[in-house]
Amino acid sequence: MNVPIVAASSLGLGYSREDGTATWAALEEAIGELEGGTATAFASGIATVSAVLDQFSVPVTVAVPVDSYAGTRGVLEHGERTGRVRTVRIAPEDTGAWIAASAEADLLWLESPTNPSLRLVDITAVANAAATQERPPKIVVDNTFATPLGQQPLALGADIVVHSATKFIGGHSDLLLGLTVTADETLAAGLRDARTRGGATPGALEAWLALRGLRTLAVRYAEASQTATLLARRLSEHPAVTVVRYPGSGAMLAFEVADAESADRLCAGLRLIRHATSLGGVESTIERRAARAGDAHVPGGLLRLSVGLEDPEDLWRDLDCAL
């Protein structure tokens, strides 16, 4: 049974910003068990980035994939402008560059698969190399796309896992929430302290909705993976599609058409798949990310597709007609 919504700011002599609530605790316990560490819930996924950076003295050197979530890069770019962050940008699949960066950086911020292009980082190889350094960097993995069912980065050598629970964990496009998970109790305490100081606490309803969504994640993940596998195969065979990237499981895939005009025409021609910027819900969504300033560097014809729970043949007919 799902826990009740505890909508309280004051619990006797306690205070929920500092002590949490039963609803937060239930969500954190469930995510911690799935990822293999101690979880802390935040008001949004982007709040986890600030909480992680709060663990370092400034200036902090952060290596980040060139192809990665625009919101994360935006926080780092703001830190660069204010002199608090030095950012090193690395191609996701350039394992040698990541290993080299592990000798200089304080923090390696990984995504695998990346947002929006679905490129992969060899987390294990990077983590193993980082562990041999005289002063090993901390390794963070944004596990939003893979979910805890697709991979558990702490078991691969990461120090911290972050999630935008707004996406697949919530799963119904009706909440904003972020999560950190770490097996290091000192880091866990530091992240929780950052939440208390910064005030980026999750809402009572949002935590309850995320826990509700988590209860169906396994079913949603399995069904969406099957559909995404079928769509990826058919897209790769379509003459109008030049590139398809699908990591083999999960609901996210990326594909490219000839140019931005072709991609925009495809989005306008869809009837079932929604042209929308968020992802991870039960409805399929698609977006040309290069149209947004933060992702202007990706190919103009790149489309990011989040596969929902509609009938696979209906989704394919929609894509095929639009193509």
Is 221 tagged catalytic?
Answer: no
Q: How far apart are CA 86 and CA 60, in angstroms?
A: 6
Instruction: Determine the 3-state secondary structure of 119 from DSSP.
Output: coil
Amino acid at 269: G
Is 17 tagged catalytic?
Answer: yes
Q: How far apart are CA 266 and CA 323, in angstroms?
A: 6
Q: Which entry of 119, 167, 245, 288 is annotated as an active-site residue?
A: 167
DSSP states of 257-312 as a string? -SSHHHHHHHHHH-SSSEE-S--SSSS-EEE-GGGSGGGTTS-TTEEEEE--SS-H
Q: Which entry of 67, 142, 159, 318 is annotated as an active-site residue?
A: 142
Are the beta carbons of 315 and 307 closer than 8 angstroms? yes
Query: CATH class for domain 217-322?
Result: alpha beta
Is 138 tagged catalytic?
Answer: no
Edge-to-edge strands, sheet with 138-142: 38-42, 178-182, 160-164, 138-142, 107-111, 60-65, 85-90
Residue pLDDT tens, the chain, 323 long: 778 898 776 656 577 888 888 999 999 999 999 999 999 999 999 999 999 999 999 999 999 999 999 999 999 999 999 999 999 999 999 999 999 999 999 999 999 999 999 999 999 999 999 999 999 999 999 999 999 999 999 999 999 999 999 999 999 999 999 999 999 999 999 999 999 999 999 999 999 999 999 999 999 999 999 999 999 999 999 999 999 999 999 999 999 999 999 999 999 999 999 999 999 999 999 999 999 999 999 999 999 999 999 999 999 999 999 99
DSSP states of 140-171 as a string? EEE-TTTHHHH--GGGGT-SEEEEETTTTTT-
- 10-214 adopts what CATH topology? Aspartate Aminotransferase; domain 2 (3.40.640)
Q: Which entry of 67, 69, 159, 304 is annotated as an active-site residue?
A: 69
pLDDT, residue 15, reads 78
Domain ranges within the chain, ordered by starting residue: 10-214, 217-322
Burial of residue 237 (CB within 10 Å: 0-12, 13-18, 19+) is exposed
Amino acid at 125: A
Amino acid at 26: A
Is 73 tagged catalytic?
Answer: no
Are the beta carbons of 165 and 143 closer than 8 angstroms? no
